[in-house]
Chains A and B, each alone.
Chain A
Amino acid sequence: MLDFSEGFTPATHLLITLAAPLVGAVAAWLLGHRGLQAVRQSAAVTSLITLALAGTLVLRFLGSDAATAGGFFAACELEWFVSGPLDIRFSVGLDGLSVWLFGLSALLTVTAVFVSWDAVKEKAVGFYGLLLLLEAAMLGVFAARDIILFYVFFEFTLVPLFFLIGIWGHDDRRRAAVKFFIYTFAGSVLAFLGLLAIVLWHASHTGVLSFDIATLTAGLTSHPLPMTPEWGYLQLWVFIALFVGFAIKVPIVPVHTWLPLAHVEAPTGGSVDLAGVLLKIGIYGFLRFSLPMLPEAAAIAAPWLVALGAIGIVYGALVALVQKDLKRMVAYSSVSHMGYCVMGLFALEPVAVEGANLQLINHGLASAGLFATVGMIYERYHTRKIAELGGIASQTPWLATFFMLFTFSAIGLPGLNGFVGEFMILAGTFQRAWSGVSAEWSSTYLTLSLLAVAGVVLGAWYMLQAVERVLFGQTRGATAGEHGQHAHDLAWYEVAALAPLALFIVWIGVYPSPFLKASAHAVTASTQASSEAFAARVSASPTQEMAAHTTSNQHAP
């Protein structure tokens, strides 16, 4: 496949991008004896090269047919475990669902490397090596077109992060790492069973044992998993199995409690990748597998998931409001914000789904930025307790400015990226509630969408309360003491970590259209089946749509 005679084909480009972090990890290991500076410089170079490769690949994607007409870009496959009936291939490619997450992974690794620049000095070889392994795994998850390959990368994201938390974490790092690992691993084992069930069903009904995701999707469209009592509602069970795995990743309330612990104990670099990318794999899994492959089950589950999303928004916000640890508060804000993604996705309206897909990127940027700045605050004042901090804006104004920007993005201030996704999710969900569900569901849906809009107020409350206490006011506690006197403003490597995030936060906020367009086709395609199944369920209900709601006045004459 690696045939350079055709020039630098997209497929070659993708393979090199995937391999680059691995090469970098080896390079960091080889340079280990030359000290910290060499190691971190090599890691930075690797992550920048990978970002350049991934960035240009995204640009090539945008110029391709895949961006406008759907389908995979840079598709290529290598035989991997091909023996007898097994046909597991190392097949990779990018489509509208994965392209931005792929780019985000590369971008956030750069941030992760630079925020660790001064924070990680012990066992740096291992740290940066694992960080680059994590990048390879994240890029692989989004590039995989083979269901087994996806699962391998999916699991493999856990391993580097487990060690990053367990070794370079804070006081309670062992417990956090183990809880994180066992919790998410238990979920993904179930998800694996679900994926296997899909493969086996497909094989037994088409006679082809395929692990190719596109083939499976097409096969399951013509031979859907049964939703009848005689088959024991098999499709629903498969959906539940996948759901458990993905829901823990997202995480959806109530299976979220590993997240605050993991974040609080993780080193900053790990938190950046965890919040920025790894949480997105759950939603990505729904979009890639559950919705297109199991539409009837998804249609049944949709109202429940909209409810869980809305509850998560408010619940996460409420819990965040009383947190005393700044990082824990940001972690709960992630729980709240991922609630928007879940709600938007399962509203199954085009506007909401595209908003949810964009919100993955938005939350990735904002939460990574918040975790990074919280880490920088910790570096300076050696505490994350909100009560111990105050008046940071007068000591380190640029750090405060970035923190403010990420806060504004997180609370969905218009003009920044968070607003676009949040608004589309809420508008689409509202549309679903108003005219897209049966009468008996309508009031529930309306209540949920209004609850979610109210969550926007709560979201502003806890974030701005933290800003008021941490950034503003007089210095106190740790900031008034010795640490405060020596606190310096952002160093060059910290600017390098934050500035790219800020750039994209403003860019997506002001001009989101290209970001939405590139994904529109793929997102619509993968939710269409579920959306139609949901519509069928609604129209099958005894009472008709709620259109009467809106039309009573106009049709009167």
Chain B
Amino acid sequence: MVENSVDPVPVLLALVPALPLLGCLITILQGKLLGARAHLPAVVTIAASAVCSLALLAGTAAEVHGPDGGSEHPSRPVASVHTLWQWVHVDDAIHGVDAVSGVDADAPEDAATRPFAIDVVLRIDPLTATMLSVITCVGLLVAIFSIGYMHGDPGYPRFFALVSAFVFSMTMLVSASNYLIVYVFWEAVGACSYLLIGFWFRKPEAAAAAKKAFLVNRVGDFGLAVAVFLLWMTYGTLDFHDIVSADGTIISGILGQTRLTNADGIVGGTVGTAICLLLLLAACGKSAQAPLHVWLPNAMEGPTPASALIHAATMVTAGVYLVARSAPLFVACPDALVVVSLVGGITALIAGLIATVQNDLKKVLAYSTISQLGYMFVSLGTGTLLGFTAAIFHLVTHAFFKALLFMGAGSVMHSMGGVIDMRRFGGLRQLMPITASTFLIGSLALAGVPPFAGFFSKDEILASLHARAWPGGHGDHAEETHAGADPLSSETLATSAATTIVGDARAPFAMASMKANAADGHDASDHANDAAHDEHAEATTGSLNNPTTWKAIWWMALFTAGLTAFYTFRAVFMTFTGPLRVPEEAGHHAHESPPVMTYPLYILAAASAISGLWIFSTDALGSFLPATPSLWAPAVASTAVPHLFHWDIAMQGTLAAAIGIAIAAYGHYGRRSDEPQMERYLGSLGTVFANRFYFDELYVITVVRPLEMLSSIAAAFDSYVVDGLVDAIGHLPPSLAGVVRRLQSGLIQRYALAGVMGVLVIVASLVWSLKQ
């Protein structure tokens, strides 16, 4: 898998993060000098980085599809890793891990010791290439948009330095090939987010929101840290990739080929589930999933372009990336998977409900982001190849249309003199036709109206979920045959056996595992004769992992689809239709935004309109992503299904969207936006939604206040008990007290003399001994 170093891949791969870093440094050092042109380093370097990313994407795609250029399913994993520098190396740090992993059969069982070796290694594979392209392309458009949006801000250079720093950190995060390096940049993007939320630090709300975001994310990071410790203890490495040492021995990485093709390579059971749930906790923090979603709405205090880039399109999807990257770990733990879906489903529903009563346009979009990310988690939790690719598909389309919507909101805010409360303006399509029409396209995409982008990605998510909730021939008796581990009907399985990725290297294994699947409905990572493991799996299969749960998640997801359409179009109608009203803050300058802001809107609108149809019709991601080692793993790949369009599911999704839009139109189309329309029907429920289900209040009561109380008690204990005891002891012996008195009565000079004498003695004796 390690390629020659003469090819351009490593250079491009290093350039993708290195260029924005360079841009950041130039902006920091020369920001004052550049003045109003301080955006140049950031825009130029991110553009170059985007070119490199697209080149890598093209190169990887060519490699996946082979020289004939066909779009057949990939026959082998495509990945290459490139070491930059050694970060930490501790010899003989862990013993007997090879025995634990059960993979390196050649290694002597007990004698093996492993170093704690962390290298900065970058990787490129289809998943990374996709993520890199999305990050840099959206990053570029946001940077260009910001030229207009941030114009005249006193912190203009600082903003572009931070955006470059973010693009650097985020590209490193998705191309790192080691869990610890992922953790490093996981927190680094958090720091960039902290600084961008607090960009207007003079505003107390912004400063508080920044702190809140960092701390809530730290709770998630706690999960990631402990997950990394557990991975280190379980696998004796933190690398994704295999390392072939000089003498030919292979240190199998956690997500490396050796381990993935070994049926027992990935640890399941209690430890595996713990690892997955901790990774999920981390993902919940970064991707704002319940119950750690509370920071994202407050994060809207930051500049709108930053919200578009970080808190909508890219950083918040890091959790989705992490779970997708760790797919083999999750697939080995069905109990963890169902929790992923459940968290996603509940989050999607809750956030959707809250969004229906928000009057701040950015807050609507923030809750919508939380809700859509929940959708991606629902999809990831299905644990099927379709689910993972659908999540990434939705990640890509969501990046386009949500960045578009945020920048549209930014455009509105820019022209409304900073006002973003939808009740204070209306009918803006007369003033800002470009913003209105592009915003409408983004809304159609978000609402899942065919043929816009969101429709296709959402449809694929619903399809993957449907396969879980109604596992075909197994029907409601599926528990007996472990529907949790095998979501697919026997028919689809039979078809998939013919069409799935059947790689040359692992073909016999894949076929064997398919048979095993069909026979007893078990996950491919379980051998049929793996009795002990089976017992374990049965013992730990919780009551959650059954079709009823999946059906509940399905209905939550479908209902959320309707909610999404409703709140999106409620916002569209409140903002752009009805009689023209402009707040006085806008003055007489209310007008369409300058071209530097509208061109990015055009581009993103085009992407939001056609990317879904294009990706779906060519199966661009479905044939590309499965070559990622994590998704190529037999346990994941064996769940592949043919690429089909499900009319029944599409109809249900479209119907939900249509109902949502219809209700929104009934309530808000053409009306004055300051007259409450829908809230009156909700009654006290509306109050609950408006108060965000009281999550913040709950945290204050259960976490913040108790900790503050504990702190006060600790501080008082420290002053009066701990220090009081010391003082009491100090005053007990009269002789000691006498010393204190004498020291206090001005004899310090005498002590100084003693000190100097001491030094003189040392110096003198030194000199004396030199003479000897």
Question: B751 to A511, Cβ gap below 8 A?
Answer: no
- Closest chain-B Cβ to A336's Cβ sits at a distance in Å of 11
Question: A517 to B89, Cβ gap below 8 A?
Answer: yes
Stretch at the interface among A231-239, A289-297, A359-367, A547-555: A547-555
Interface status of A414 (Cβ within 8 A of chain B): yes
Interface status of B772 (Cβ within 8 A of chain A): yes
Stretch at the interface among A49-57, A104-112, A346-354, A497-505: A346-354
* Chain B residues closer than 8 Å to A253, beta-carbon distance: 722
Question: B722 to A254, Cβ gap below 8 A?
Answer: yes
Neighbour of A553 across the interface among B180, B228, B272, B763, CB < 8 A: B272
Question: B102 to A414, Cβ gap below 8 A?
Answer: no
Interface status of B739 (Cβ within 8 A of chain A): yes
Question: A557 to B264, Cβ gap below 8 A?
Answer: yes
> Which residues, 183 to 206 on B, are CB-close (under 8 Å) to A?
183-188, 191, 198, 201-204, 206
Question: A350 to B91, Cβ gap below 8 A?
Answer: yes
Question: A257 to B722, Cβ gap below 8 A?
Answer: yes
Main secondary structure of the interface of A (DSSP, over half): helix
Question: B711 to A456, Cβ gap below 8 A?
Answer: no
* Chain B residues closer than 8 Å to A471, beta-carbon distance: 201
* Chain B residues closer than 8 Å to A126, beta-carbon distance: 752
Interface status of B584 (Cβ within 8 A of chain A): no
Question: A178 to B188, Cβ gap below 8 A?
Answer: no
Complex Cα distance, B751 from A167, in Å, reads 12
Question: B714 to A350, Cβ gap below 8 A?
Answer: no
Interface status of B732 (Cβ within 8 A of chain A): no
Mark interface residues in A513-553 (1 if CB within 8 Å of B CB, else 0).
10011001000100000000000000000000001011111
Stretch at the interface among A220-228, A314-322, A377-385: A314-322
Stretch at the interface among A93-101, A200-208, A273-281, A426-434: A426-434
Q: A414-B185, A457-B219 are in contact. Are A322 and B715 (CB under 8 A)?
A: yes
Interface status of B92 (Cβ within 8 A of chain A): yes
* Chain B residues closer than 8 Å to A516, beta-carbon distance: 88-90
Stretch at the interface among B306-314, B505-513, B527-535, B600-608: B527-535
Q: A319-B711, A415-B184, A473-B201 are in contact. Are A457 and B530 (CB under 8 A)?
A: no
* Chain B residues closer than 8 Å to A474, beta-carbon distance: 202, 204
* Chain A residues closer than 8 Å to B234, beta-carbon distance: 550
Question: A315 to B714, Cβ gap below 8 A?
Answer: yes
Q: A423-B180, A460-B215, A557-B527 are in contact. Are A322 and B90 (CB under 8 A)?
A: no
Complex Cα distance, B183 from A419, in Å, reads 11
- Closest chain-B Cβ to A197's Cβ sits at a distance in Å of 24
> Which residues, 705 to 725 on B, are CB-close (under 8 Å) to A?
707-708, 710-712, 714-715, 718, 722-723
Interface status of B116 (Cβ within 8 A of chain A): yes
Neighbour of B743 across the interface among A178, A321, A414, A456, CB < 8 A: A178
* Chain B residues closer than 8 Å to A351, beta-carbon distance: 90, 93, 116
* Chain B residues closer than 8 Å to A553, beta-carbon distance: 267-272, 533, 536
Mark interface residues in A456-470 (1 if CB within 8 Å of B CB, else 0).
111011001101100
* Chain A residues closer than 8 Å to B201, beta-carbon distance: 393-394, 471-473
Question: A556 to B93, Cβ gap below 8 A?
Answer: no
* Chain B residues closer than 8 Å to A178, beta-carbon distance: 740, 743-744
Q: A257-B722, A453-B225, A513-B89 are in contact. Are A322 and B712 (CB under 8 A)?
A: yes
Complex Cα distance, B770 from A90, in Å, reads 11
Mark interface residues in B92-109 (1 if CB within 8 Å of A CB, else 0).
111010011110000000
* Chain B residues closer than 8 Å to A86, beta-carbon distance: none
- Closest chain-B Cβ to A328's Cβ sits at a distance in Å of 10
* Chain B residues closer than 8 Å to A255, beta-carbon distance: 726
Question: B766 to A90, Cβ gap below 8 A?
Answer: yes
Neighbour of A430 across the interface among B229, B730, B758, CB < 8 A: B229
Question: B269 to A2, Cβ gap below 8 A?
Answer: no
* Chain B residues closer than 8 Å to A81, beta-carbon distance: 765
Interface status of A60 (Cβ within 8 A of chain B): no
Question: A419 to B184, Cβ gap below 8 A?
Answer: yes
> Which residues, 215 to 270 on B, are CB-close (under 8 Å) to A?
215, 218-219, 221-222, 225-226, 228-230, 232-234, 264, 267-270
> Which residues, 460 to 502 on B, are CB-close (under 8 Å) to A?
none
Complex Cα distance, B100 from A135, in Å, reads 50
Interface size on B, residues (CB 8 A): 92
Interface status of B581 (Cβ within 8 A of chain A): no
Interface status of A391 (Cβ within 8 A of chain B): yes
Question: B714 to A90, Cβ gap below 8 A?
Answer: no
Question: B225 to A319, Cβ gap below 8 A?
Answer: no
* Chain B residues closer than 8 Å to A435, beta-carbon distance: 233
Question: A322 to B711, Cβ gap below 8 A?
Answer: yes
> Quick one: which of B712, B754, B762 has the most chain A CB within 10 A?
B762
Question: A322 to B116, Cβ gap below 8 A?
Answer: no
Interface status of A114 (Cβ within 8 A of chain B): no
Complex Cα distance, B741 from A174, in Å, reads 11
* Chain A residues closer than 8 Å to B762, beta-carbon distance: 152
* Chain B residues closer than 8 Å to A394, beta-carbon distance: 201-202
Complex Cα distance, B648 from A260, in Å, reads 69
* Chain A residues closer than 8 Å to B710, beta-carbon distance: 318
Complex Cα distance, B215 from A461, in Å, reads 6
Neighbour of A319 across the interface among B233, B715, B744, B748, CB < 8 A: B715
Question: B718 to A257, Cβ gap below 8 A?
Answer: yes
Smallest CB gap from B190: residue in A:
A413
Neighbour of B202 across the interface among A80, A472, A511, A512, CB < 8 A: A472
Question: B744 to A513, Cβ gap below 8 A?
Answer: no
Complex Cα distance, B747 from A174, in Å, reads 12
Question: B714 to A550, Cβ gap below 8 A?
Answer: no
Q: A1-B770, A427-B228, A456-B225 are in contact. Are A552 and B269 (CB under 8 A)?
A: yes
Question: B183 to A453, Cβ gap below 8 A?
Answer: no
Mark interface residues in A417-446 (1 if CB within 8 Å of B CB, else 0).
001100110111011001100000000000
Stretch at the interface among A67-75, A156-164, A484-492: A156-164
- Given A351-B93, A468-B207, A520-B90, 16 other A-B contacts at CB below 8 A? A159-B755, A163-B755, A318-B707, A350-B90, A413-B191, A414-B185, A415-B184, A426-B225, A430-B229, A450-B226, A460-B215, A473-B201, A513-B86, A517-B89, A556-B536, A557-B533
- Give chain B's interface residues, CB within 8 Å of chain A: 85-94, 96, 99-102, 116, 180, 183-188, 191, 198, 201-204, 206-208, 210-211, 214-215, 218-219, 221-222, 225-226, 228-230, 232-234, 264, 267-272, 527, 529-530, 532-533, 536, 707-708, 710-712, 714-715, 718, 722-723, 726, 730, 736, 739-740, 743-744, 748, 751-752, 754-755, 758-759, 762-763, 765-766, 769-770, 772
List 9 A-B pairs, Cβ < 8 Å. A181-B743, A427-B116, A456-B221, A456-B222, A464-B214, A465-B211, A552-B269, A554-B101, A556-B532
